[in-house]
Amino acid sequence: MTSDASPLTRLVRELDDGRSPLIHRHKLDPMSIRERIYRAAADELAYKSNLGLSYDPVCDARFTWLLQWAEVLEGIRRRIDRDIDACMRFLFMPVDYLLTGKDYASGERREPLTLAQGL
């Protein structure tokens, strides 16, 4: 499964707009978000199981980030854990953000892809 086809990745991309989940509190139902998170993890588990691959959502940073995002939305926690959020920012930031002036001078081109899209 390409990362864009991954249910968890699609959900992260849908929910992560770089702002606090609290901003979305008035328009999103926390229970439906949790349901979508667990459904996406189950779909990911089923797909990988059919391929004979082991998969544990608890070890997946995307799953942890999504659950913490839902907890912030519900008001259970104040913010997403910094380490998990930093991991997600690294995986989902555009690659051209990582390029320096030297990279551009050497002819590197901007890529619209992110690390999570399988460079």
At 40-93, the pLDDT tens digits run: 999 999 989 998 999 999 999 999 999 999 999 898 999 999 999 888 877 876
Decide if 47 is inside a domain: yes
Overall domain count for the chain: 1
Decide if 15 is inside a domain: yes
Whether the Cβ atoms of residue 11 and residue 38 lie closer than 8 Å to each other: no
Decide if 54 is inside a domain: yes
Decide if 112 is inside a domain: no
Domain that holds residue 8: 3-84
Tokens of 17: 């707009």
- The Cα–Cα gap between 69 and 60 comes to 14
Decide if 103 is inside a domain: no
- The Cα–Cα gap between 15 and 90 comes to 16
Decide if 20 is inside a domain: yes
Decide if 59 is inside a domain: yes
Decide if 116 is inside a domain: no
> What pTM was estimated for this model as a whole?
0.72
